[in-house]
């Protein structure tokens, strides 16, 4: 942590403590959460150490497709747990281990790209081979993959951790932005947004654009102009479901700090009809929206953006009763649509997302385009090909595409893969743990931890859980410390090293 970060922390904490009436003594007690942070999800560095066991002598060539957070952490842990590791990571991006959860803090707080961009080569575990290329073909029956550069690589076991693709090109007017990877080199894509006020924290240069846009938005509000902030959430699964709202809460908070909140109208336009899939968090977020005067219009899917005219176009959809079916004694339900044009001064776009086509549409993909794994038994083993596992954003799981989920999944994959190599039963299970630290203002975060309520009975709804001694559905400054100062080192020095 550098000097400026320490000063920033002190300022934010002092301000929140004053507002909350918290004494320094209580604050110190809660700071104990810092060490507890490493326990989130039941994982401590101490437990990682006690987990250390004799390395397995199992043999086999392991190929990992994708060297982002999930893939590189898996490689690191496998390398530690195998006596003679033969591990190859295939990853085209030279900054794949970039810290993506920090993107929100670029767009809406003081961080910059310098705080989050990390070089892949600095995180390749010792003994692991890196091939800087993209897999373009999968032949799981012959246990082979082919790369864009024309190499054919065979394997005994494969782990797919390719993350997902941002599909901006699906929105009319953003065809030039096209398909992007969050940590790719995407300056040209960010430049497409120009001075329109539109942008997205879902990629690095996009987050820098959002920072610039937010500054201009706040300056306009400060000058007395009445301004409109518009925030979207698409009709596909997305990574970090909280991020579209985090950037909205941060806009609200920045406007308040600037004394210009009354000049801005902030409206959330999600495709769905809830704030969050878990009832407690859903309710808590509704309350916060009300308290902060933030508006929402459900069932609006962003389909078009006119950057020159600063207009966002939505497909507003709803159901209406159609014909009555006397045999079934019910009405047909018909989906109706209307085109809604919304002018904006600031637009935050959460783009549609999908698995990379070369994976989703390949023999290892599923009809919905993600990689199907056995989540009912929690093993994360591929449904069809038993020597393949998948984890992270590309895995077809019912909930939670977050780094917090991947942090639980990669240990399960490593344990089960080694069990498979040794000819043992797969006993490690992923129970759906997800954490989504939802920033609700500068200085406060709602932790939003959940897992699957009753997977054994085929139900995979999110259930609120708490691994720290504070309510996870109440915003708290201690969670801000966790989010802003602890989770990044924990990821870089713990998870990516196969430890935390
Ligand atoms: C704005 C934002 C905010 C977020 N906030 C949080 C948060 O607060 N908390 C949290 O826990 N998570 C958060 N996340 C989500 C988290 O960062 C992701 O869930 C996590 O990075 C997923 O890891 P992954 O390894 O599956 O994917 P990635 O880290 O994206 O890595 C996938 C890698 O696979 C590579 N790849 C793709 N296709 C191929 C191919 N064909 N061949 C070879 N390699 C390939 C890609 O180049 C990429 O490097 C946030 C994400 C964003 C964008």
The CATH number for 474's domain is 3.50.50.60
Are 264 and 274 members of one domain? yes
Q: Does residue 288 sit in the same domain as residue 218?
A: yes
Q: Does the beta carbon of 372 lie inside 6 Å of ligand 1?
A: no
Domain ends where: 288, 322, 353? 353
Q: What is the pLDDT of residue 4?
A: 54
CA of 248 to the centre of ligand 1 (A): 22
**What distance in angstroms lies between residue 319's CA and the mean position of ligand 1's atoms?**
35
Please indicate, yes or no, whether residues 315 and 429 belong to a single structural domain of this protein: no
Instruction: Indicate if 154 and 172 belong to the same structural domain.
Output: no
- pLDDT given at position 33: 45
Determine if ligand 1 sits within 6 Å of the CB of residue 33: no
Q: Which of 325, 353, 381 is the last residue of a domain?
A: 353
pLDDT of the residue at 40: 46
For residues 293 and 282, give the distance between their C-alpha atoms in angstroms, rounded to a whole number: 17
Residue 207 CA, closest ligand 1 atom number: 1
Is 160 found in the same domain as 188? no
Q: Which residue out of 74, 93, 100, 248 has the highest number of ligand 1 atoms within 8 Å of its CB and is therefore the one to mutate?
A: 100
468 contact partners, CB below 8 Å, separation of at least 6: 33, 36, 37, 39, 40, 447
Residues 403, 306 share a domain:
no
User: Residue 14's pLDDT is what?
Assistant: 58
Q: Counting atoms of ligand 1 from 1, which one is nearest the CA of 392? A: 26
| Close Cβ partners of 44 (under 8 Å, ≥ 6 residues apart) | 38, 500
Structural domain for 171, as ranges: 167-353
CATH of the domain at 324: 3.50.50.100
- DSSP-based three-state secondary structure for 265: strand
- Is the CB of 392 within 6 Å of ligand 1? yes
Q: Ligand 1 in contact with 201 (CB < 6 A)?
A: yes
Q: Are residues 227 and 364 in the same domain?
A: no
Q: What's the total number of domains in the chain?
A: 2
- Does ligand 1 come within 6 angstroms of the Cβ of 135? yes
> Per residue of the chain (500 residues), what is the pLDDT tens digit?
455 555 555 565 555 555 555 555 444 444 444 444 444 444 333 333 335 568 999 999 999 999 999 999 999 999 999 999 999 999 999 999 999 999 999 999 999 999 999 999 999 999 999 999 999 999 999 999 999 999 999 999 999 999 999 999 999 999 999 999 999 999 999 999 999 999 999 999 999 999 999 999 999 999 999 999 999 999 999 999 999 999 999 999 999 999 999 999 999 999 999 999 999 999 999 999 999 999 999 999 999 999 999 999 999 999 999 999 898 889 999 999 999 999 999 999 999 999 999 999 999 999 889 999 999 999 999 999 999 999 999 999 988 899 999 999 999 999 999 999 999 999 999 999 999 999 999 999 999 999 986 766 667 888 999 988 899 999 999 999 999 999 999 999 999 999 98
Confirm or reject: Cβ of 134 under 6 Å from ligand 1.
Answer: yes
Domain co-membership, 392 together with 310? no
Answer whether 342 contacts ligand 1 (Cβ < 6 A).
no
pLDDT score recorded for residue 21: 54
Residues 137/146, Cβ–Cβ less than 8 Å: yes
Do 457 and 373 lie in a common domain?
yes
∠192-257-296 over CA atoms, to 5°? Answer: 60
What is the pTM (predicted TM-score) of this model? 0.92
Whether 115 and 55 share a structural domain: yes
Q: How far apart are CA 274 and CA 455, in angstroms?
A: 22
Residue nearest to atom 2 of ligand 1 (CA): 101
Sequence-distant (≥ 6) Cβ neighbours of residue 473 within 8 angstroms: 280, 281, 283, 284, 446, 448, 464
Calculate helix-pair angle for 69-81, 403-421, nearest 10 degrees: 40
Give DSSP secondary structure letters for 425-461.
Answer: ---------EE--EEEETTEEE--EEEEEEGGGTEEE
- Do 156 and 192 lie in one domain? The reply is no
Last residue within a domain, chosen from 303, 322, 353 = 353
Query: What separation in Å is there between the alpha carbon of 296 and the centre of ligand 1?
Result: 28
With a 6 Å cutoff on the Cβ, whether 491 touches ligand 1 is no
User: Are 301 and 192 in a shared domain?
Assistant: yes
Ligand 1 atom nearest to 437, measured from its CA: 8
Element (H, E) at 417: helix 403-421
User: pLDDT value at position 15?
Assistant: 58
Spacing, Cα 402 to ligand 1 middle (Å): 8
Q: Which atom of ligand 1 is nearest to the CA of 393?
A: 26
What is the distance in A from the centroid of ligand 1 to the CA of 163? 5
Q: Rounded to whole angstroms, how far apart are CA atoms 425 and 417?
A: 10
3-class DSSP assignment, residue 284: helix
Using the mean position of ligand 1's atoms as its centre, give its distance from the Cα of residue 42 in Å.
Answer: 22
């Amino acid at each position: 942590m550098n000097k400026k970060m320490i000063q920033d922390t002190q300022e934010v904490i002092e301000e929140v403590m004053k507002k909350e009436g918290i004494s320094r003594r209580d604050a110190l007690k809660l700071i104990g959460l810092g060490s507890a942070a490493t326990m989130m999800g039941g994982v401590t560095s101490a437990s990682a150490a006690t987990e250390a066991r004799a390395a397995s002598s199992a043999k086999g060539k392991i190929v990992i497709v994708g060297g982002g957070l999930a893939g590189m952490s898996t490689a690191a842990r496998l390398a530690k747990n195998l006596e003679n590791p033969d591990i190859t990571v295939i990853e085209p991006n030279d900054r794949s281990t970039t810290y993506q959860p920090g993107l929100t803090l670029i767009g809406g707080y003081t961080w910059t790209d310098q705080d989050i961009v990390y070089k892949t080569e600095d995180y390749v575990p010792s003994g692991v081979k890196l091939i800087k290329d993209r897999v373009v073909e999968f032949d799981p029956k012959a246990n082979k993959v082919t790369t864009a550069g024309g190499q054919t690589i065979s394997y005994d076991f494969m782990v797919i951790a390719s993350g997902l693709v941002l599909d901006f090109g699906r929105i009319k007017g953003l065809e030039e932005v096209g398909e992007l990877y969050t940590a790719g080199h995407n300056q040209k894509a960010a430049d497409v947004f120009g001075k329109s006020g539109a942008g997205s924290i879902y990629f690095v240069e996009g987050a820098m654009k959002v920072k610039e846009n937010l500054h201009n938005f706040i300056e306009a509000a400060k000058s007395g102009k009445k301004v409109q902030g518009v925030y979207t959430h698409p009709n596909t699964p997305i990574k970090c479901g909280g991020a579209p709202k985090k950037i909205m809460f941060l806009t609200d908070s920045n406007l308040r700090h600037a004394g210009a909140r009354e000049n801005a109208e902030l409206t959330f336009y999600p495709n769905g009809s809830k704030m969050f899939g878990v009832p407690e968090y859903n309710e808590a977020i509704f309350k916060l929206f009300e308290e902060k005067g933030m508006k929402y219009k459900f069932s609006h899917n962003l389909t078009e953006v006119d950057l020159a005219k600063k207009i966002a176009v939505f497909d507003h959809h709803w159901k209406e009763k159609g014909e009555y079916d006397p045999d079934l004694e019910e009405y047909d339900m018909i989906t109706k649509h209307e085109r809604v044009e919304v002018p904006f001064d600031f637009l935050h776009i959460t783009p549609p997302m999908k698995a990379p086509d070369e994976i989703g549409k390949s023999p290892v993909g599923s009809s919905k385009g993600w990689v199907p794994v056995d989540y009912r038994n929690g093993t994360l083993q591929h449904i069809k090909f038993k020597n393949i596992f998948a984890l992270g954003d590309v895995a077809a799981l019912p909930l939670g595409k977050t780094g917090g989920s991947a942090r639980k999944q990669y240990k399960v994959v490593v344990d089960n893969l080694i069990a498979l190599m040794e000819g043992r039963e797969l006993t490690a299970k992923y129970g759906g743990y997800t954490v989504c630290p939802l920033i609700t203002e500068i200085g406060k975060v709602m932790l939003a931890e959940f897992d699957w309520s009753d997977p054994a009975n085929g139900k995979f709804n999110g259930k609120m859980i708490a691994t720290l001694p504070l309510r996870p559905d109440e915003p708290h400054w201690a969670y801000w410390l966790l989010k802003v100062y602890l989770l990044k080192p924990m990821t870089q020095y713990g998870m990516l090293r196969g430890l935390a």
